[in-house]
Structure 1
Amino acid sequence: MTPTVVLITGANRGIGKGLLELYLAKPNHTVIAANRNPDHPTSKALADLPTAEGTILRVIKIDATSAIDSVNAAKELTRQGIGHIDILIANAGIALSWPKVSQVTIEEIQKHVDTNAYGFIRLYQEPW
């Protein structure tokens, strides 16, 4: 039986990690934890999570603010023998500041838009 392939962005903490744990508990899945820094201790700790029978974990770099990370991730996954994604969960996002509208800078807003809007678009445009 072919495993179900799931890719989750922002998978090293919070909601993304919770979703990751749920899919790792399902048998016969390939679960891809995507985050901006696979070498971070929170990313490395994912290898210690329990997995169901026939389920494997892969950790890959996708920074939502990068114009090329999704492309590079798709190429790397293809090299690893993963040619498609069945379930794509775009969970990565940021919420860095909460100022009043009169106090927020355009740069702060742009950083949020780059990550929380354009990041999803880049991810979904990749031909997984």
Structure 2
Amino acid sequence: MDARQLEAFFAPVLPVRTHRMFGGIGIYDGDAMFALSIGDRVYLKTDDITRPLHAEAGGEPFRIRMRGVLRETSYWSFPDGALTDAGAFAGWIALAREASGRAAARKLRPRASPSPAHPR
């Protein structure tokens, strides 16, 4: 899908903005990327809380080959039936936005500073 198609795809739930990235298109709600379009598939952001829900519902992870190694990303496809049921569609998008928000919050948390050196 191109950017206009993606905007129309998500329009029933929320307005989105898109940005081209690594052979696909990132889909944003404000500054938070919550979905990714690669080829003809759309993948939603997951985390430790939502990933099991996607797996149980039949979603599949987006995998990318990096330095010769196939790696699984935190983006998973819409589960079976989610694209034909408006309520399910909106629910999966809400879960992706929540996962994206949690990921952003983790990045903003200050890291523990190293303990000061002890004087000798």
Higher RCO (CA 8 Å, separation ≥ 6 residues): 1
Bigger Rg over Cα: 2
Q: Return the structure number with greater strand share.
A: 2
Q: Return the structure number with greater helix share.
A: 1
TM-based fold match above 0.5: no
